[in-house]
Amino acid sequence: MAAAIANPSVSIQDLSLNFGVMSVLKTLNLDVAEGEFIVLLGPSGCGKSTLLNCIAGLLDISDGRIFIKGKNVTWEEPKDRGIGMVFQSYALYPQMTVEKNLSFGLRVAGVPKDEIAKRIARAAEILQIEPLLQRKPSALSGGQRQRVAIGRALVRDVDVFLFDEPLSNLDAKLRSELRVEIKLLHRRLQNTMIYVTHDQIEAMTLADRIAVMKGGVIQQLDAPQTIYNRPVNRFVAGFLGSPAMNFIKGQLEAGDAPVFKADGISVPLGRYAFDGDNGRAGKPCVFGIRPEHIALGDAAKAMPFTAESTVEIV
C-alpha cells in the first residue's frame, strides 16, 4: 500500500457514482501529490473519463467527497474548482482567431485586458504558437489545434490540469511529438496533472504514477516500472506490455524453492518468489512471463523449460 500523501493537491475520498441501479464508479480513493502527473489508464468503459469528469464537476457524484488544494469542491461548479480541462475534441470556436479563443474565457470572467494580454503571450511562448495567434482553427493542423486547446487551459492560471485523451485524434508521429511536449510542459509548470488514456505508451512515458482501472475500480496505483514489473493481478499484468504477457495454467509445488509445473513445463521460481507457500501448494495457478524474458541460450546453462508454442508475429 502506498504511503499517505500529506496535503494532496487532489484528494478523492470514497467516491461512488451510480446511474440508476448501475454502479459505474465504486468507492474510489485517490490522493494526488502537489505537482504530480497521474495517468488514469484502462480499457474503454473502465470509468477513467467518468472519474475525470467527476473531478472536473461535469458529473454529480452519488457519494464521497472531492478536495482540490484542501478545499471541498464536491458540489462546486466547474468554474470554481481551479481546474483547466483539455478534451479529446479540440473545443475551439471556429469563427474566432487563436488569440480570441485563448482570451474568451478570461474576457467572460472580467479579467483586465492587460492581464489577458500577458497570459496569452506567456501561453503562446510556452506552447510555441506565437505565429498562429491571428489564424482561425480551420487554418491549423491537428497538432496546432491541440496546442491551442492546451493553451486555453493554460491561460486560466489553474491549480490542476485535467486531460481527457487529448492525443487520440492525432496520427502516431504527432502523438509521439506531443507526448514529449506535454512532458516538458509539466516539467516547466510543475502543476498537478491528471491524464486519461487507454494508450499504455502514453501512460508509461508521461506518468509519475499510473492508476490502472477496470470496472469502475482502481486495480493498482503505482510508478510505471512497478506496475510493469510487479502487477498486483492478472488483469494489470495482461494490460501492460506489447506484445502482451504470456499466461500458462498449472500448479505450484512448494519447497525451499517453489516450482511451477504444467504439461511439459517445470520452472523453478527461486526462494524470492513467495513468503513460504502461502497455501498455494498443489492448487491451480497461472504463470506469467513477458516475451522479453524468454531467450534462446546454451542448453547447459538454460532453465529447464519446454513447451509447444506458435510464433504468431515477428
Q: Where are the domains of the chain?
A: 10-238, 243-314
Cα separation, 261 vs 253, whole angstroms: 7
Give the pLDDT of residue 172: 86
**What average pLDDT does the structure give for the chain?**
89
> 173 — phi, psi (to 5°)?
-65, -45
pLDDT in tens, 30-53: 999 999 999 999 999 999 999 999
Q: What is the mean pLDDT of residues 75-98?
A: 90
- Cell numbers of 233, please? 493481478
Q: What is the mean pLDDT of residues 268-289?
A: 71
- Whether the Cβ atoms of residue 196 and residue 165 lie closer than 8 Å to each other: yes
**107 sits in which H/E element:** helix 98-108
Q: What is the pLDDT of residue 5?
A: 86
What is the spatial distance between Cα 145 and Cα 169, in angstroms, rounded to a whole number?
Answer: 11
pLDDT confidence of residue 26: 95
pLDDT in tens, 22-31: 999 999 999 9
Q: Which CATH superfamily, name and number, covers 10-238?
A: P-loop containing nucleotide triphosphate hydrolases (3.40.50.300)
Examine the pLDDT at 221 and tell me if it is beyond 70.
yes
CB atoms closer than 10 angstroms to residue 91:
13
**Spatial separation of the C-alpha atoms in residues 289 and 244, rounded to whole Å:** 9
Looking only at the bridges linking them, the beta strands covering 22-32 and 10-19 are: antiparallel
